[in-house]
Amino acid sequence: MPSRELVVTRFAPSPTGHLHIGGARSALFCWAFARRARHDGADGRFMIRIEDTDQARSSEESARGILDDLAWLGIRWDDGPVLRRHQALGTGHQGVNQGQGGDIGGDSRGVGPYFQAQRVGIYNSYIEALVKAGHAYPAFETTEELESRRKAANAAKQTYRYQRPDDVQIGAFNESRWKRAQAGEAHVIRLAVPREEIIVRDTILGDVKSAAGELDDFVIRKADGFPTYHFAVVIDDELMGTTHVLRAQEHLANTPKHVALQKALVRLDNGKPFRTPVYGHMPIICNMDGSKMSKRDKAKIARKAAKDAIAKDGGITAAVLAGTTGIAQKQIADFLAAESDSVDTAEALASHFKVALPEIEIWDFRRSGYLPEVIINFIALLGWNPGMKQADGKDLEKFDLEFIGKNFSVERIGKGSAKFDRAKLLSFNGDAIAGMADDVFVQRWRAWLAEYEPEALARLDGLGADTLMILAPAVKPRAKTLRDTLKPIAFALASDTGYEFDKTAVEKNLLASDRTGAKLLAEFKPVLAGIDAWTPGSIHAAIEAFAKSKGFVGEKGVNVGPIAQPLRIAITGVAVSPPLGETLGVLGKASTMARIERCLTSL
Ligand code: GLU
């Protein structure tokens, strides 16, 4: 039987922070490409590789977070680090490590490890082979030397390019340089790049040319002994069998370097030349105003808030802010001076000054109560569309992961930038929540509360077993995100004495017209106290009967308003809440009575 064509895509995050929305899109498109190849009969594989060669900025915690976010989105990888899921997704703590089975990931093709920091030996053997073949060489210039050359070039209005030393010739092993390096002299390794045009054949953008001489002899191994991103990515894409590289357009400028490396490299295991994978660079993701969507958007808002506060109050200094936020003073000073855009600092300052930051990373959207299937649907539309119509003739815009895996094609990825329309995302999310059956909603609401608002969940559960289910029909249609559910249930989260009465509402509904509302409430109180079966239905019936007995009947039937509003304000403090049957039902009789009493006394 002829073996099926192998199609391998990869997502290769650097573990230096949370998974960005753009990274999630890259992962989704790579996953979908491999999945579509399977539907077409090929052996499609999706792989994850952790690019952690920048030792100072990488962390295992970040790698774990990225994998966890991908798993939350429902993206599964065939090969890559193993994400162990001790508990159901989205709640438990998840561990990540290499190999040996596990819940997601593995090494089915035997091309791991998938953490680049564990592959340094492999990179070094290729570095040595390149040096010996005369395609790379140790370079000994100090940072200061290079900096002064750069300055001189800038002053002469020339583009700075590293000049190959006279003693280096392409194709000839420079033994004396290699010996100096081996003896421990500080150095980097540079690729000896031939003077020739390089063409990147991009499936999305077409041919992208880089003129002869445009690339200088770039660094492939840093002074710390770790390979540069360019080198590691090229070695790994070859050794891991990557056939298709789909990545963000930000990387397009790097690709000529990768092609130059592929031309210079030969496999050590079988002597075959390196292959160039099929490249596709995906559109940039922009905010609605056309600026690039980036983590910096958070820094900008937090910095402005801090600076506005400092302008108003000279007493607020970096030192003071360091004391209150727990972030180092220097970090805060750098951040305020726009020398750093640290997300951690931005988050700490935003929470201190109580400003909301835009969601940028998947983690933000999770915390805000977006649904993973909605995020998947939405990011699929960032630069791609299925090109299909709905029955009503409109473009098909709502679909799930399985649909994407079946219908994905690179041909339908656009060249222009993709706009991130937050209003549209919110409306997709609201539609998805509203469309859930109540029991499904409760299950997911509960999981979200358990992860992000555990105290609120404990309080709700403390009120009774069915609290979430009772509130669901009232909360669900109005919540665009799961976090939105907190506002209408604030009355239930507060203790019987832990909420305030809205002054305007009290004035209008309880005190106006010689305290009509308050008097009605006092009269209704014993009626409520007399209800035996405390259910939303019986409570509602009691309210209606009371209104009827008072003659609150208009053209449209019984008008419960004159008693309902005073009652609502008494037990929630505000004029808007879920229906009263549910509201009182959830609180229970004792709380309801205590709250009415407190309200009447406060008048
Ligand atoms: N580690 C790179 C990044 O996070 C991946 C680039 C690539 O896909 O080649 O941007």
Ligand 1 in reach of 247 Cβ (< 6 A): yes
How far does residue 248's CA lie from ligand 1's centre (Å)?
8
pLDDT at residue 102 greater than cutoff 80: no
Interatomic CA distance for residues 35 and 362, integer angstroms: 22
Mean pLDDT, range 536-548, rounded to an integer: 96
pLDDT at residue 119 greater than cutoff 50: yes
- As annotated, the residues of the chain forming the CATH 3.40.50.620 domain(s) are 117-282
Interatomic CA distance for residues 251 and 273, integer angstroms: 23
What is the residue type of 370?
Y
For the domain bounded by 503-602, which CATH number is listed?
1.10.10.350
Q: Which residue, among 362, 343, 358, has the nearest Cα to 69 in the 3D structure?
A: 362
Q: Does the N-terminal peptide bond of residue 113 adopt cis geometry, omega within 30 degrees of 0?
A: yes
pLDDT at residue 139 greater than cutoff 50: yes
Ligand 1 atom closest to Cα of residue 233? 9
Q: Edge-to-edge strands of the sheet including 94-97?
A: 94-97, 80-85, 104-106
For position 2, what pLDDT does the model report?
63
In the three-class reduction of DSSP (H, G, I as helix; E, B as strand; rest coil), residue 140 is classed as coil
Structure tokens at 261: 């490396």
Ligand 1 atom closest to Cα of residue 254? 9
Q: Whole-number mean pLDDT of the chain?
A: 94
How many other β-carbons are positioned within 10 Å of the β-carbon of residue 566? 27
Mutate to test the pocket of ligand 1, among 233, 240, 242, 258 (most ligand atoms within 8 A of CB): 233
Strands (DSSP E) found in 71-210: 80-85, 94-97, 104-106, 136-139, 188-191, 198-202, 206-210
Structure tokens at 204: 């999305």
Ligand 1 atom closest to Cα of residue 12? 5
Please name the residues in contact with 158: beta carbons below 8 A apart, sequence gap of 6 or more.
none
How many other β-carbons are positioned within 10 Å of the β-carbon of residue 328? 12
Ligand 1 in reach of 48 Cβ (< 6 A): no
For position 501, what pLDDT does the model report?
97
3-state secondary structure 446-502: HHHHHHHCHHHHHHHHHHCCCHHHHHHHHHHHHCCCCHHHHCCCHHHHCCCCCCCCC
Query: Cα angle at 327 between 322 and 333, to 5 degrees?
Result: 65
Instruction: Give pTM, 2 decimals.
Output: 0.92
Q: Where are the alpha helices (DSSP H) in 277-380?
A: 296-312, 318-325, 329-336, 343-352, 362-367, 372-380
Mutate to test the pocket of ligand 1, among 46, 238, 251 (most ligand atoms within 8 A of CB): 251
Q: Which residue, among 411, 333, 531, has the nearest Cα to 29 in the 3D structure?
A: 411
Interatomic CA distance for residues 100 and 120, integer angstroms: 22
How many other β-carbons are positioned within 10 Å of the β-carbon of residue 413? 21
Interatomic CA distance for residues 295 and 248, integer angstroms: 15
Q: What is the pLDDT of residues 425-444, one digit of tens each?
A: 999 999 999 999 999 999 99
For domain 117-282, the CATH architecture is 3-Layer(aba) Sandwich (3.40)
Identify the H or E element spanning 8. strand 6-11
pLDDT at residue 486 greater than cutoff 50: yes
99 — pLDDT class (breaks 50, 70, 90): very low
For position 84, what pLDDT does the model report?
84
Interatomic CA distance for residues 448 and 367, integer angstroms: 8
Q: How many helices (H) and strands (E) does the chain have?
A: 25, 16
- As annotated, the residues of the chain forming the CATH 1.10.10.350 domain(s) are 503-602
Specify the DSSP class assigned to residue 246: E
Question: Are the C-beta atoms of residues 212 and 161 closer than 8 Å to each other?
Answer: no
Ligand 1 atom closest to Cα of residue 13? 4
For position 295, what pLDDT does the model report?
85
Lowest model confidence (mean pLDDT) among 160-164, 227-231, 255-259, 554-558:
554-558
Q: Which residue, among 152, 155, 154, 177, has the nearest Cα to 164 in the 3D structure?
A: 177
For position 93, what pLDDT does the model report?
34
Specify the DSSP class assigned to residue 517: H
In the three-class reduction of DSSP (H, G, I as helix; E, B as strand; rest coil), residue 150 is classed as helix
